[in-house]
Every structure is written in C-alpha cells, then in structure tokens.
Amino acid sequence: MQTSITPTTIRNQLRKKFGIPKKWTRRPVLDELIMTVLSQNTTDVNRDRAYAALRNRYGTWEDALRGNIKDLEEAISPAGLGPTKSVRIKQILKRAWEEGNCSGFDNLNTMSRDDARSFLLSLPGVGPKTAACVLLFACGIPAFPVDTHVFRVCGRLGLLPENADRAKAHDVAEEFFPEADYLEVHLNIIKLGRTVCRPTHPRCSECPLSEECTYWSKLKVEIGG
C-alpha cells in the first residue's frame, strides 16, 4: 500500500459526489452469470440488448441449452464476441443442467464465500471478476468485483502493490474495504472511472479523492504544481 487514504474517505467522498447507489432487484444466480458473461468487453447497453434478445428467443434456459448454438450466437450478437460467448453460455447451461435441471446454482448463497467462489471459478469462462459479480449481485455474498475501472482507480490511488494483477486486486480490495461498503464503493468507483478517472487524461482537478491520490501527488511534483 502506497497511500494513506482510508476506506471511509473513499466511501464518503464518492458518496458526496455520486450519492448512494439505488437498490436493485436481485437476479437468480444463473441469470446473473449469463449476464456477466455477456458483459465482457462490451458496454452495458449492448449487454442489455443481447440479454433481452436471448430471453426473447428462448422461453427457458433449458430451451437455450437444447437449441442450436448458431441461433444462440445470433441472439447475443449485440454484445460482440458471439462465437466465444455462445460456447461459454452453452457450457455454463450444461453444467447448470447437470447440477440441477437448470434451476440455477441456487444453493450457492448457502455456501461460504470461499466455497461459492471456488465453484464459480470452476465454470468455463468464469474469472475472478465474474465470480465476484455473481457473489455480490446474485447471492448477496460480500465480494468486491474488480473490473477495468476499479483496477485503474485503485492502482492510481495507490491501493495496489506494484505489479498487482486483477486476481490479486480482488484480494486487496476485499481486505481494504469493509464488507458492508463493497457494493456502494464498487459502483461509485466505476462511476468515477467512467467520468473522472478516465483511462487517458484523468480529470484530477475535479476528483473528490485527489487530496490523497498517489498518481495525482506524483503528477503535481512532475509538473511543479
């Protein structure tokens, strides 16, 4: 850790700027899992279009499992990477069927976080971020998903060790923030990453975390500020 910023400062400053995120309706585990696979490397809008098309095309997940993979690929085309994502979705549905007739992996929320995470990571195409999203958004199990925005912001703030990869970043974030704040802070860091702490030309002068940000304090020295 290369910073003195506290988890409370981050939560409170982001809350002042973005508010407390609204409550959302929890989806069944299988729905959330497929939604998260669709969200990889695309925008929320395209993910939602692909998900809606998928649900329109198939009455049940079992229908999608039994259906032709080319049809499935076509349905999810708005999300991009159709050939890869359709195969992953089929494999996940197959596993869901084997585990309990496509009723979803609904016993996950009765497991410990470690066991539920290990199970999710054993599924095809599921990495640490997808597993954490499913745990947090569908199972109500505290987990801190680290997507590209969270990884960038946490890195710039100085929360991550040098050369930390995404998997390590999940461990760091889960240790750093209190479990009760995971959801709010995760969602508000994403908002910060999209609007202020952008990949290029971050707007540090508008950032509520700038006073204790490692990236900004180094940059100020370099530019003589």
Which residues are the active-site residues?
Answer: 129
110-149 residues in contact with ligand SF4 (CB under 6 A) are none
Longest dimension (CA), the chain: 64
Q: How far is the CB of 202 from ligand SF4 (least distance, A)?
A: 4
Return d(Cα 174, Cα 183) in angstroms, integer.
Answer: 11
User: Comparing C-alpha atoms, which of 194, 196, 146, 172 is closest to residue 2?
Assistant: 172
Residue 197 lies near ligand SF4 (rule: CB under 6 A): yes
Binding of ligand SF4 by 204 (CB under 6 A): yes
Residue from 129, 149, 156, 186 touching ligand SF4 (CB under 6 A): that is: 156
Write down the least CB distance from residue 163 to ligand SF4, Å.
19
Select from 14, 87, 215, 222 the one that contacts ligand SF4 (CB under 6 A).
215
Q: Which whole-number Å values give the CA distances from 47 to 53, 110, 171, 173, 197, in the listed order?
A: 10, 28, 27, 26, 23
Stretch that binds ligand SF4, among 8-16, 142-150, 173-181, 200-208 (CB under 6 A): 200-208
- For residue 97, the minimal CB distance to ligand SF4 (Å) is 44
HEC letters along 28-64: CHHHHHHHHHHHCCCCHHHHHHHHHHHHHHCCCHHHH
Nearest Cα to 137, choosing from 45, 28, 34? 28
Element (H, E) at 86: helix 82-100
54 touching ligand SF4, by CB under 6 A: no
Q: Which is nearer to ligand SF4, 66 or 220 (CB)?
A: 220
State the CB neighbour count (10 A cutoff) for residue 146: 28
**Among residues 120, 138, 153, 159, the one that binds ligand SF4 under rule CB under 6 A:** 153
Site for ligand SF4 contains 76 (CB under 6 A): no
**Residues at the contact surface with ligand SF4, assessed by CB under 6 A:** 153, 156-157, 196-197, 202-204, 207, 209-210, 213, 215-216
